[in-house]
Amino acid sequence: MRQYSLIAPAKINLYLEIIGARADDYHELAMILQSISLADQIDLHAANTQTIRVFCDHPQIPTDESNLAHRAAVLMASNFPTAFSNFGGVDITVKKRIPVAAGLAGGSTNAAAVLVGIDLLWGLGLTQSQLEELGANLGSDVPFCIGGGTAIATGRGEQLSPLPSLNNMYLVLAKYKSLAVSTPWAYQTYREQFGAEYIKNHQDFTQRTKAVHAAEIVQAIAVQDVEVISHKLHNDLEKVVLPAYPQVLQLRELFAKQPEVLGTMMSGSGPSVFAIVESKQDAETVKEKITVAINNSDLELFVTQTIGHGIQLETRH
Ligand code: C5P
């Protein structure tokens, strides 16, 4: 097979708790991650060039070595040099639908798709956990993006425990096109403001993580109780991002005022905000009301839903 097309879904955080600072400068986290139907398409094509090239239809996205999809291909080439020299280069085309720098793991899911796609292209037969291990070198969210669905993520975010899948929960997702939040800035600012509350040693990390496993939101996911899930949404990074970005706070407050909205939260380090509703029709109603109320062409709104998978093959050529 010389070409594969893959669907690379975005993720939201139903829960993000910052537990402490780690020796490696990352933060110890307890998160619940959820794949959504909003997705990019990644086409991989075996080229006769011995080079890795990225093409993207989004003008803001660099296609050079800094692109995470590019880095994923370089990682595969350096881990499997024989396959790389046998099969030659790879052309990667990213059809961007997921908002950029939004807290939706757009870059991470592209990288995950490249790992999965090159594994297929070169016939490597890697397992999901081998792919996840490779993915952890590229970014904390990459391992989750490979298998997707619903999962507890601890450590840096790369240690995954699957949860029962939460299919067909409807959401409205909003993002100001011109706003981008730097993830390192969000974590750094959090550390400056709340670092004194951090738990200091690793033993405590484990205990705290266990408490999260037992948390009400995890139980609500087990019984698919959308109302309880909506009331228990949590994201520590809101404490630093909302005060710094008043437009995001306003959006969050406007969502919360809609009678159809069961719960609303910023995703990841933001600035995208999602609202959980009961049905597709409620999602369309809320999307319409927010569009009218904010009346700003810079605001993008999506009706989307939770899904039970990560990277998937679209069509075979
Ligand atoms: O892992 P990733 O490259 O996606 O992380 C981006 C940045 O977010 C890191 O450089 C770090 O500043 C911050 N981060 C963190 N703790 C985590 C995950 C990310 O401090 N667990």
Give the burial string for 39-64 (b: 16+ CB within 10 Å, else e): bbbbbbbbbeeeebbbebeeeebebe
SS (H, E, C) 154-174: EECCCEEEECCCCCCCEEEEE
The CATH number of the domain holding residue 71 is: 3.30.230.10
143 neighbors 135 (Cβ within 8 angstroms): yes
**Residues whose beta carbon lies within 6 Å of some atom of ligand 1:** 26-27, 29, 139-141, 156-157, 183-184, 187
* Helices 68-79, 128-136: crossing angle, 10 deg rounding: 120
> To test ligand 1's pocket by mutation, which of 183, 235, 267 has the most ligand atoms within 8 angstroms of CB?
183
- Per DSSP, the three-state class of 178 is coil
Please confirm whether the linkage preceding 271 is cis (ω < 30° from 0): yes
- Chain-centroid distance of CA 125 in Å reads 25
Cα separations (Å) of 49 from 68, 113, 227, 231?
Answer: 20, 21, 53, 53
- Our count of domains for the chain comes to 1
User: From the CA of 270, how far away is ligand 1's center (Å)?
Assistant: 13
18 alpha carbon, distance to own chain's centre: 17
Q: Which atom of ligand 1 is nearest to the CA of 155?
A: 21
User: In what helix (H) or strand (E) does residue 268 lie, and over which residues does it extend?
Assistant: none
Predicted pLDDT of residue 316: 47
- pTM recorded for the entire structure: 0.95
Q: Which residues of the chain have pLDDT under 70?
A: 1, 199-214, 315-317
- What domain range includes position 223? 1-316
Nearest residue (by CA) to ligand 1, atom 19, is 26
What's the rounded Cα separation, in Å, for the pair 195 and 297?
Answer: 38
Task: Out of 40, 43, 119, 141, pick the active-site residue.
Answer: 141
Q: Are 290 and 265 in contact (CB under 8 A)?
A: no
Take residue 52 and report the two structure tokens written for it: 């890795």
pLDDT at 216: 86
Q: Which atom of ligand 1 is nearest to the CA of 25?
A: 20
The atom of ligand 1 lying closest to the CA of 183 is 8
- DSSP class per residue in 39-103: EEEEEEEEESSSSEEEEES-TTS--STTSHHHHHHHHHHHH-HHHHHHH-EEEEEEE--SPTTSS
* Whole-complex ipTM: 0.97
In whole angstroms, what is the distance from residue 125 CA to residue 116 CA? 10
